[in-house]
Structure 1
Amino acid sequence: MDTVTLQRELRAFAREAGIDKIGFTTADPFREMKNRLRRQQESGYQSGFEKGSLDERTDPALLLEQPESIIAIAVAYPSKLDDAPKGKKGARRGMFCRASWGQDYHDVLREKLALLEAFILERVPGARLRSMVDTGELVDRAVAERAGIGWSGKNCSIITPEFGSYVYLGEMITNIPFEPDEPIEDGCGDCTLCLDICPTGALIEGGRLNAQRCIAFLTQTKGSLPEEFRTEIGNRVYGCDTCQTICPKNKGMHNRIHEAFRPDPELAKPLLEPLLNMTNREFKETFGHMSGSWRGKNPIQRNAIYALGHFREQSALPELSRILREDVRPYMRGASAYALGKIGTEQAETALRHAESREKEEEVLIEIRAALRRIADQKKEVHE
């Protein structure tokens, strides 16, 4: 089969397989992206989750022998939560980002890429193929941009005319020489809304992100969070959508297309307090099918504690006091101390003082004393 016919049939099959966009590009090295990644590395802006060296992340020839093309795919996901439950006093809720709603997109896109691989191998039995989704070496955004899936927005997301930036990306390197598609013209213009609204200033400039300040990254880290970020996280337990929800190109993009990504409102916006005493097994059974579960329950629980402090939720006092008193994880005790200091009631102060007399870990003692100072300052303000 000639490559022109195969490419045409691949486009048609991709639609049948539930792939919303497919594009083709060369397997040439991504030289400009390599320079950008080097600048990110030198500036200390990387997340640490990146896979592979700079060369491996930008040169397909290091990942597949004699590559000719890369096939890029995009699958849209929903941005609106139907029948969203509302948090209220005594029943506060957290929020998983939209990219974590429904079934883990890594699994869904790998299945779709596997279908493409089978389709190609049936027609070209000797074809060499290598697929990846998000956690592979190649930079998905760079591949998608060059393959005409969308343009690279100032919010560091690929923005498509059809689905906005609410798309998952994947790619396949192959030794088949497909005709490359043309990139899409940048559509951001002089808009800077995403840069202006970023809560922590993580978007340094259009298309450049300091991952170390990005809330989406921070919610996935383990251990304690620097205090400057705790209030900004609000009730987010995983991820952040702010730079996407503000984007004019996402207005009206609901993308209720794939059943696999249909969100369960109770999981997309879970009650915060029940998260605090979940076992590993309970967490896996409840959230294990979501991409937001990949780091386990510890970061989610820590973020839930910060969120309860953010709400100054008094119903959480018994559980926060128990964590401060009994939890074996120092950063969880520290987070609880912080939240108790934000709540600031007499019961919270009593729990903090009892904990101060027993606590041995210096990092937790620092949090307890800072919380007690916060309560003292609040009392002073009231009297003044």
Structure 2
Amino acid sequence: MDFQQLKEDIISYSKNIGIDKIGFTTASAFDEMKNRLRRQEALGYQSGFEEPDIEKRVHPDLIFDGPQSIISIALAYPSKMKDAPQSKRGERRGIFCRASWGTDYHVLLREKLSMLEEYILSRVPEARFKSMVDTGELVDRAVAERAGIGWSGKNCAIITPEFGSYVYLGEMISNLPFEPDEPMEDRCGTCNKCIDVCPTGALVEGGQLDAQKCIAFLTQTKGFLPDQFRTKIGNRLYGCDTCQTVCPENKGKDFHLHAEMEPDPEIAKPLLKPLLSISNKEFKERYGHVSGSWRGKKPIQRNALLALAHFKDETAVPDIINVLEHDVRPVMRGTAAWALGKIGGEEAKAVLTKAREREKDEEVIEEIEKGLAFFN
């Protein structure tokens, strides 16, 4: 088998099926990444969403029998929304990050990887694969960096010369011995814009992220948002793009290469008040196809309350009162209480005072006290 010719044929085929970048690397251990992951763990910077076994994250041979190479792919996604609706008084809107525009990228990348597998099998019937997108054991960025897709930026994203950091990543371990591609030179240089503007200081230094402070992570948690971050998330419902939007390498980068990635403006930038009363069924029907729905409606609804507080939207007070008085979930009632205090007004104060007498949950009572403290 002429594996160099096969590699060239795979590259050609990948372009035909809409893969925007493809790279090849060895299946050797990711030793440098192991050191970084150990450091993350020691500092308590992990999100908790990762594969817990660091060895599996850096040793392909622990998750695949006889690995010879890894193929990395990237799909470019849009950075600008066409006909984006405006947020205005009485009709305030939240925002989903760009990685949650259009169809869930996990689905799209798995489809491309599956097509790639079928093509390779048609050429090499004895080929074996293990494909992963985001939720697999390997670190997508480490694979993409070594495969020459792009360099690992100070914002912890892979940055490509062609598409900036607006790319989704996936990879495929295989038992075929492809020649590896050369890694790309780091082009961040002395630029620190992403570090300087990170809203919560989650980018501790170039390439070092404290996930526990990262807004993208915080918007996906289900409990009460820590006090110090509540005024930082603004109107973000899911994810955060700040460290990407300020990156000079992303200036002018906006690619609309995949119809499935085009956002529905009313879903990517939805009205906030209707979110507070949306049913599970409605949420699944409306948002179930986007990646930002994976944790269910609770984090989105909690973030919607914080966004309404951010806007000090007095028109939302009746909706927020309804949450405080009728929602069975303590996190929602408590966040509603805090939001009412933040928005202010005599009606909010009176409702909070009554709620303090009625509420039985200690955490919610604590949030009611925080809400009332705004009036002191």
Match of 1:108 in 2: 108
> Which residue pairs with 2:76 in the alignment?
76
**3-state DSSP of counterpart to 1:233:** coil
**Aligned partner letter, 1:219:** T
Q: Which residue of 1 aligns with 2:164?
A: 164
String of CA shifts for 1:270-328, please: whole Å, max 9, x gaps. 00000000011100000000000000000000000000011111111111111111111
Superposition map of 1:303-322 within 5 A: 303-322=303-322
1:356 aligned onto 2:351: no
> Is 1:196 matched with 2:176?
no
In structure 2, how many angstroms separate the alpha carbons of the residues matched to 1:64 and 1:241?
A: 34
- Describe the SS at the equivalent of 1:212: coil
Q: Does 1:95 align with 2:95?
A: yes
Residues 152-203 of structure 1 deviation map (CA, whole Å, 9 limit, x = unaligned): 0000000000000000000000010001000010010000000000000000
Q: Which runs of 5+ in 1 are unaligned?
A: 377-384
Q: TM-score, normalised by structure 1?
A: 0.97
**Residue 375 of structure 1 aligns to a residue in which SS?**
coil
Deviation, 1:73, is 0.2
The residue correspondences of 1:44-59 to structure 2 (distance < 5 A) are 44-59=44-59
The Cα shift of 1:206 comes to 0.2
Residue 144 of structure 2 corresponds to residue 147 of structure 1: no
1:4 alignment partner in structure 2: 4
Q: Taking structure 2 as the reference length, what is the TM-score of the superposition? A: 0.99
Give the RMSD, CA atoms, in angstroms.
0.6
- 2:22 aligned counterpart, secondary structure: strand
CA deviation profile, 1:43-100 (whole Å, cap 9, x unmatched): 1000000024111000000111111100000000000011110011100000000000
SS for the counterpart of 2:187 is coil
Deviates more, 1:95-104 or 1:309-318: 309-318
Moved more, 193-202 or 45-54: 45-54
Q: In structure 2, the residue corresponding to 1:270 is in which secondary structure?
A: coil
Q: Quick check: 1:288 aligned with 2:257?
A: no
Cα deviation, residue 119, structure 1: 0.5
Matched, 1:264 2:300: no
Alignment partners' CA distance in 1, 2:373 and 2:35: 47
Deviations 1:92-128 (A, max 9, x none): 0000000000000000000000000000111110111
Identity of aligned residues (%): 65
Instruction: Report what 1:62 is aligned to.
Output: 62
Bigger shift: residues 314-323 or 10-19: 314-323
Corresponding residue number in structure 2 for 1:230:
230
TM-fit CA distance, 1:345 = 0.3
- What amino acid sits opposite 1:260 in the alignment? E
In 2, Cα distance between equivalents of 1:323 and 1:356: 15
Distance 1:52 1:176 in 2: 28
Shift of 1:362: 1.1
Shift of 1:370: 1.4
1:253 matches 2:273: no
Residue in structure 1 matched with residue 297 of structure 2 by the alignment? 297
Shift >2 Å, 4+ stretches: none
Question: Which position in structure 2 is the counterpart of 1:382?
Answer: none
Give the CA deviation at 1:223. 1.2
| Cα deviation code 1:19-54 (max 9, x no counterpart) | 000000000000010010001001100000002411
Report the secondary structure of 2:331's partner residue.
helix
